[in-house]
Every structure is written in structure tokens, then in C-alpha cells.
């Protein structure tokens, strides 16, 4: 048995695997206490006596940053460097803003403290740390009423002795501490400080939430695991201490789930498209999950490994509005779960979901498998009033809302494909989330993508992805080693010793996770660059052989930037190591293909607006079988999502139940 739970802005999603049977469920998210929806869903599924793992994706860390509702956090740093967090970088996010502003630092000036010590750029001690200076520091922190402390001393990633001593003194005094030599032992002072501060800021909030949840879970429930941003899971105890690693928890699970299910259908080069109630998350998967170490969340750099995901404020709950110039807009503000779209019966703002309902793509009696009835009159009245302000009738306004939302999402898809040199025409679009399959054909047409895959349970795919995610640990260390030419035995031994140091911590933490060595895969990598460059590339080092190391770097550089410079000196900036603890992934039942006729799943026919109103058959997805063919225009309903097959597109059901939708002209 295993249960995946993904808390989103509008719905909380559940996937239960028990005895080889996969069950899905959705309940409205309870913003005041996420545990309420969590426990309600478990009760509905009869999963209170769950014996296997319970994997949870949470927005707690993300929302804490977005809403600036984290712990009262202090920063302890080297004397003279208290303002690194505020100085930041010279980059201007809004290049043409006449009066640019940037978010206030998470730690105000009054809560930044200094210690008189100094390590140099080679790791040598220039000024020893005076142990007697730590007692006044502890007293000052307690007097300031801080709830959490980030400790980030200069060059502690080379020699952590001073930072370790400061952290130990603060912990002995009962203060929660995030130390940079453990959180991010890498160079780049601003990013290292920011990442450590983010972890200190969100970890107490995450700790309180997870403790509250664990206390309310049934005593017989299995161990609670938390989804990380890197596509793997960790124990709840580890997540409490390293909450910064969970800021993209749910979206990362969606990418894992998309790659897993699309892989079962034979597709590897993917663009994942996850449209939920409040936002849309997209990612490029060129045969493998792509990571980045350069994320910015709510204005704060978080330099930890995360799946490379781009997010925009476009979801089913995105509110339609008219801007000062008289243009129709959709989002980024969302109606969320409470009050939700107007069609839920309580909201006073018309949303993308309301527009889909009025266009006939959603049916008021078939939402959530018929368990929730939608109100058509309320959004019609609100949308008509909105359209009257810009001279549009009801249906043209509804179509306009969808076109604006699609434009926002199309831009996001171009960011992760075209702008990075990837031709979307060579990829398959995997559409999921509660609203993704509604918009998938529109977006595929706009980008020239030839194929859309809608997984069997698209509305809960993130929850399924959590059950397919390995236990994962990431480690890094800045070394700044120039590559000798030729690479000799001495350098190979130096490199091996560096990786052994990382592995020692990794093996211990994997044991703490309850993963045996036999299930662990070790993936070393190197951050490399030409000497004099400011940024580096990650080069896999799986075989631990230096024989073609230089050649692999030149090839990676040419692939990424279009050129390489053989003969130029190269340096290793960081050592990286990823440990994967394999899990038993849920198996999706396979069905032998039958005939193409989908009549057994036909529910009826209704008029649906595309560029014009068209009669469209409506099918129940649960009654479709492998081999069935759906010719657009058509609507396919199921508990967790609705799929629109546009005119000119044809869908077929494959053996695992995924819907493969392609242009009818091939």
C-alpha cells in the first residue's frame, strides 16, 4: 500500500495504490488548515489504516516565501559582511522600470549580527574566532526574540570550523540553526547567504505544519515522506530541517509523474504542461529530467538542485479582469479554493474555469465525476457584465478569456523550449493538472507540437508522481581545482578522495532514510568551466574515469553555447553527488487493444464553442478501452479532469489508458 497526497491551491489530490488497484480522489483544499483536507481525503478513501509509505507534496515552503509569513529570522555572518543579503547582485529584474523596487530582504538590518573572525579564499584562518564572543551573541539573539538563525561565515565552505562552532553554541542555547556549510557549501556569497536564510526562514513553519500533521495522522499510518524540488523524497524529519529543498514540491512531482507515465507509453522527449487552479508549471524533458541550481523564489535566490520548472500565474481559478488600457486580462490573481470560481456558487469573480463552462467544454452536472454541480447562471451574469465594458457579447468574452490565458501559457512554453534552443515540434506535450487537458490542443496548435499525451489520471498526476519518485539526496562542495594537462594519476586520486568525502555523508543519510546500500545508485558530477568564465556547466561523471573528462566538457559546452575552445585551460568549480534510493513504482494496468469504436463510452452530444459552435460528442473516460479512437471535436470527462479534443485532432487510447491525441492530418 502507498498513498500520494498533493495539496494544491484549489484541490487536494490523492492517489492510493493498494493490492495492485489504483484509486484516485480529490477534495477541496482547506487553506486555514491543510491537514483538514488531508485527513478528509484519507477517510474518504478508507486509507486510515495505511500500512505503506505516505508521500506528501506541500506548498507550505512556497507560500511562506510568497506571503512573507516565515519565522522571525536572524543572520550571523563575518564582520563587515552583514549587508550582503541586501546588496545582492546588479541584475535588474525590470529593466525599463523608472522606479525599480526589489523585495525587502527576509532578514531586516536589525537582525543581522556579525562575529569577528575571518577565513581567506584558500581556507586559511586569518583571524581566529574568539569563543568568548559567542555568549554575548546568544544573549543578543534571545533579546531580539528570534525564532531561527542562519549562520553564513565567509569561506566556510572551505574551512567550516568557525561556522560549526557558532552553530553549536547557538544550538546549545536552544536556537534553531541553519548553517551554510551544511545547507550549501559552495562559493558565491550572496546566493549562499540567501539560500541559508531561506532555509532558516521556512523550516520552523514547515516543522510546525508537519508536526501538526503527524500528530493528527492515525497511529497505524505508515511513515510520512515529503516530496523535494529535485524530484525525490525525504523523511518528514529531514524536511523539517531542510525545508528550502521543498519549495517546488508539488510541481516537481508532476514532472516525475509525467515522465513516468509518458515513458510507459513510449515517449521520452517531452514538454510537461501542468495547469492547476492557481498556476501553470511547464518543464522541458529531453529524454531525462533536467535540473537547475539557479532558482529565484519570491525574489530570493535558492541555489539548491531543483527540477527546471517555469511557473506562470495562469490556472483554472485565474480571475478575468479589464486593465487600465481597456484590455482583457486573465490572472495572475486567482480565486483559489475559497471562494473559488463563480461557478462554485460562492465567488464573485469570473475565472478561466467559468469561461470553459460557458463555452460548453465543462458540463455543470459532470464536474468531479458528477459529485459537484456547477452554477452556470452566476458566471454568465458576471462575464456578461465584464464583456459589456469592452463591447463584447457573452460568448466572445468567454472565448477571449481562454485566448488570453492560452497566450500566457504559450509564452511559458516558449521560455522553456524555443528560448533554450529546443524545437517544440520535436517534442510531445504531456498535459495534466485539473485544467491542463482542457487547453492542451490549443497550445499544441499554437506551438506546432504534433502530439499530446493525456495520462490516465491527469488531474492527480502529481500525487501519482510522488509514488514514482526515488529517495534522493544531493551534496556539493566548492573546490576550484584547475585541470592539469595531461590528467595524471595524482589528480585522479585527488578527485576520488573528494567524492569519498561527499559519499560518506550520503551513505549515512541514506541509512537514516531506511534505504539499504543495494538499492542506492550514486551519480557523481562536476561543475566545470573555462578559466575566466563566470558560470559553469554540470558534467556527469558516472564512470568516475578522467580519461575523457576534458572532451566531455568541451562537448557539453558546445551543445549548450554552440562553441567550444579546446586548448583553453579548464577548472573544476564544484564536486556534486546525487544518491538515488530506488522505490517500487506503482504499476499501471495494461489492456489488450480492442476495436476503434468508442460508442460504449458515449454519454451524449452537446454544442461546444471553438471558433464557432460545433456539435461535439461527450465520452466517459472510465469506459474507454485501449484501441478506441476519438475524432475531434469531442469532450472526454472523468473524475479528475476534462479533456478537449479540438477539431482536426484525433485521439486514441493506448494499453495503459493514456490518451494520445495527434493532428488528424498526421
Nearest to 13 by CA among 432, 471, 622, 472: 432
Quote the pLDDT of residue 544: 61
Q: What is the mean pLDDT of the chain?
A: 91
The Cα-based distances of 560 to 9, 421, 447, 555, 564 in angstroms read 36, 9, 22, 9, 10
pLDDT digit string, tens, across residues 316-329: 888 999 998 899 99
The yes-or-no verdict on residue 666 having pLDDT over 60 is no
The yes-or-no verdict on residue 207 having pLDDT over 70 is yes
Judge whether 79 and 116 are in contact, CB under 8 Å.
yes
- Among the residue ranges 86-95, 204-213, 507-516, the one predicted with the least confidence is 86-95
If pLDDT is split at 50, 70 and 90, which confidence band does 466 have? very high
Sequential DSSP letters for 236-258:
HHHHHH-GGGGTTHHHHHHHHHH
Quote the pLDDT of residue 645: 97
Helices (H) and strands (E) counted in the chain, each on its own, are 16, 34
What phi and psi values does residue 7 have, to the nearest 5 degrees?
-95, 115
Overall average pLDDT of the 223-231 stretch: 93
The position carrying cell 551513505 is 507
Overall average pLDDT of the 588-609 stretch: 92
- Number of alpha carbons in the 13 Å side-chain half-sphere of residue 335: 25
If pLDDT is split at 50, 70 and 90, which confidence band does 333 have? confident
Rounded Cα distance, 404 and 442, in Å: 12
Nearest to 478 by CA among 81, 181, 242, 165: 181
Quote the pLDDT of residue 314: 86
**Cell triple for 353:** 474555469
Quote the pLDDT of residue 545: 66
> Does domain 250-315+406-468 sit in CATH 3.40.50.1370?
no
Rounded Cα distance, 259 and 263, in Å: 6
Whole-model pTM?
Answer: 0.90
Sorted by where each begins, the domain ranges of the chain are 71-206, 250-315+406-468, 318-357+364-398, 473-581, 599-663
Overall average pLDDT of the 123-148 stretch: 95
Rounded Cα distance, 433 and 451, in Å: 18
Rounded Cα distance, 226 and 250, in Å: 10
If pLDDT is split at 50, 70 and 90, which confidence band does 48 have? low
Quote the pLDDT of residue 266: 94
Q: Do 71-206 and 250-315+406-468 come out as alike in CATH topology?
A: no
Q: Residue ranges of the alpha helices (H) in 417-488?
A: 436-447, 461-468
Sequential DSSP letters for 82-140:
TTHHHH--S--SSTT-SS---PPPSS-GGGEEEES-EE-TTS-EEE---GGGHHHHHHH
Q: What is the largest CA-CA distance in the chain?
A: 82
Quote the pLDDT of residue 347: 77
Helix 394-416 with 377-388: angle, nearest 10 deg: 90
pLDDT digit string, tens, across residues 402-424: 999 999 999 999 999 998 889 99
Overall average pLDDT of the 490-518 stretch: 88
Overall average pLDDT of the 518-538 stretch: 92
Quote the pLDDT of residue 301: 92
Judge whether 356 and 599 are in contact, CB under 8 Å.
no
Rounded Cα distance, 354 and 362, in Å: 9
The position carrying cell 585527488 is 494
Quote the pLDDT of residue 85: 92
Rounded Cα distance, 633 and 608, in Å: 8
The yes-or-no verdict on residue 603 having pLDDT over 90 is yes
Nearest to 181 by CA among 170, 194, 171, 192: 192
Report the residue count for the chain. Answer: 666
Q: Is the dihedral of CA 155, 161, 164, 166 positive or negative?
A: negative
**Cell triple for 173:** 542555547
pLDDT digit string, tens, across residues 66-84: 888 999 999 999 999 999 9
Judge whether 409 and 415 are in contact, CB under 8 Å.
no
If pLDDT is split at 50, 70 and 90, which confidence band does 665 have? low
Quote the pLDDT of residue 100: 79
Q: Is the dihedral of CA 414, 420, 425, 431 positive or negative?
A: negative
Quote the pLDDT of residue 49: 64
pLDDT digit string, tens, across residues 230-261: 999 999 999 999 999 999 988 999 999 999 99
If pLDDT is split at 50, 70 and 90, which confidence band does 649 have? very high
The position carrying cell 510522488 is 466
User: How large a percentage of the chain has pLDDT more than 90?
Assistant: 64
pLDDT digit string, tens, across residues 171-199: 999 999 999 999 999 999 999 999 999 99
Rounded Cα distance, 267 and 271, in Å: 11
The arrangement of secondary structure in 473-581, i.e. its CATH architecture, is: 2-Layer Sandwich (3.30)
If pLDDT is split at 50, 70 and 90, which confidence band does 364 have? confident
299 alpha carbon, distance to own chain's centre: 16
- Any idea which fold 71-206 has? Rossmann fold (3.40.50)
Amino acid at each position: 500500500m502507498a498513498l500520494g497526497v498533493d495539496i494544491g491551491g484549489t484541490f487536494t489530490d490523492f492517489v492510493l495504490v493498494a493490492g495492485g488497484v489504483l484509486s484516485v480522489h480529490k477534495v477541496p483544499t482547506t487553506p486555514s488548515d491543510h491537514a483538514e483536507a488531508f485527513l478528509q481525503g484519507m477517510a474518504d478513501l478508507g486509507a486510515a489504516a495505511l500500512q505503506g509509505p505516505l508521500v506528501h507534496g506541500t506548498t507550505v515552503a512556497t507560500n511562506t516565501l510568497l506571503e512573507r509569513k516565515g519565522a522571525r529570522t536572524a543572520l550571523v555572518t563575518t564582520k563587515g559582511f552583514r549587508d550582503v543579503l541586501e546588496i545582492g547582485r546588479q541584475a535588474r529584474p525590470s529593466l525599463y522600470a523608472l522606479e525599480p523596487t526589489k523585495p525587502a530582504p527576509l532578514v531586516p538590518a536589525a537582525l543581522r549580527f556579525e562575529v569577528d573572525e575571518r577565513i581567506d579564499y584558500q581556507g586559511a584562518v586569518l583571524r581566529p574566532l574568539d569563543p568568548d564572543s559567542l555568549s554575548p551573541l546568544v544573549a543578543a539573539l534571545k533579546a531580539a526574540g528570534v525564532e531561527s538563525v542562519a549562520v553564513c561565515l565567509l569561506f566556510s565552505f572551505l574551512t567550516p570550523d568557525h561556522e560549526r562552532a557558532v552553530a553549536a553554541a547557538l544550538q546549545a542555547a536552544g536556537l534553531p540553526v541553519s548553517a551554510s556549510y551544511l545547507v550549501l557549501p559552495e562559493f558565491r556569497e550572496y546566493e549562499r547567504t540567501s539560500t541559508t536564510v531561506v532555509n532558516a526562514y521556512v523550516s520552523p513553519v514547515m516543522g510546525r505544519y508537519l508536526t501538526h500533521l503527524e500528530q493528527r495522522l492515525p497511529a497505524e499510518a505508515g511513515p510520512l515522506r515529503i516530496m523535494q524540488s529535485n524530484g525525490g523524497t525525504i523523511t518528514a524529519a529531514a524536511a523539517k530541517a531542510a525545508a528550502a529543498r521543498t519549495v517546488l514540491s508539488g510541481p516537481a512531482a508532476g514532472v516525475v509523474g509525467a515522465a513516468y507515465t509518458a515513458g510507459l507509453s513510449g515517449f521520452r522527449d517531452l514538454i510537461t504542461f501542468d495547469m492547476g487552479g492557481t498556476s501553470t508549471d511547464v518543464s522541458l524533458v529531453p529524454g531525462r529530467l533536467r535540473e537547475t541550481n539557479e532558482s529565484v523564489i519570491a525574489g530570493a535566490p535558492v541555489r539548491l538542485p531543483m527540477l527546471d520548472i517555469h511557473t506562470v500565474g495562469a490556472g483554472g481559478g485565474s480571475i478575468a479582469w479589464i486593465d487600465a488600457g481597456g484590455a482583457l486580462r486573465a490572472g495572475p490573481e486567482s480565486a483559489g479554493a475559497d471562494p473559488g470560481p463563480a461557478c462554485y456558487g460562492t465567488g464573485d469573480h469570473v475565472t478561466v474555469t467559468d469561461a470553459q463552462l460557458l463555452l460548453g467544454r465543462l458540463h455543470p452536472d459532470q464536474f468531479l465525476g458528477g459529485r459537484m454541480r456547477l452554477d452556470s447562471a452566476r458566471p454568465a451574469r458576471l462575464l456578461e457584465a465584464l464583456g459589456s465594458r469592452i463591447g463584447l457579447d457573452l460568448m466572445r468574452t468567454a472565448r477571449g478569456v481562454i485566448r488570453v490565458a492560452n497566450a500566457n501559457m504559450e509564452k511559458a512554453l516558449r521560455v522553456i523550449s524555443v528560448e533554450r534552443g529546443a524545437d517544440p515540434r520535436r517534442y510531445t506535450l504531456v498535459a495534466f493538472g485539473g485544467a491542463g487537458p482542457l487547453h492542451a490542443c490549443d497550445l499544441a496548435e499554437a506551438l506546432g507540437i504534433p502530439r499530446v499525451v493525456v495520462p490516465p489520471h491527469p488531474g492527480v498526476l502529481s500525487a501519482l508522481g510522488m509514488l514514482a519518485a526515488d529517495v534522493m539526496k544531493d551534496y556539493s562542495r566548492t573546490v576550484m581545482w584547475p585541470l592539469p594537462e595531461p590528467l595524471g594519476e595524482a589528480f585522479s586520486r585527488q578527485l576520488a578522495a573528494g567524492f569519498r568525502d561527499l559519499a560518506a555523508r550520503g551513505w549515512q543519510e541514506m541509512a537514516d532514510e531506511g534505504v539499504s546500500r543495494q538499492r542506492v545508485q550514486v551519480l557523481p558530477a562536476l561543475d566545470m568551466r573555462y578559466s575566466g568564465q563566470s558560470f559553469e556547466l554540470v558534467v556527469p561523471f558516472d564512470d568516475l574515469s578522467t580519461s575523457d573528462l576534458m572532451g566531455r566538457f568541451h562537448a557539453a559546452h558546445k551543445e549548450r553555447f554552440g562553441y567550444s575552445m579546446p586548448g583553453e585551460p579548464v577548472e573544476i568549480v564544484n564536486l556534486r553527488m546525487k544518491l538515488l534510493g530506488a522505490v517500487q513504482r506503482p504499476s499501471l494496468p495494461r489492456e489488450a487493444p480492442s476495436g476503434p469504436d468508442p460508442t460504449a463510452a458515449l454519454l451524449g452530444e452537446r454544442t461546444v464553442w471553438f471558433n464557432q459552435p460545433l456539435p461535439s460528442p461527450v465520452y466517459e473516460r472510465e469506459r474507454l478501452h485501449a484501441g478506441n479512437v476519438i475524432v475531434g471535436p469531442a469532450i472526454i470527462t472523468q473524475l479528475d479532469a476534462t479533456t478537449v479534443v479540438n477539431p482536426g485532432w484525433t485521439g486514441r487510447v493506448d494499453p495503459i489508458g493514456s490518451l494520445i491525441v495527434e493532428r488528424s492530418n498526421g
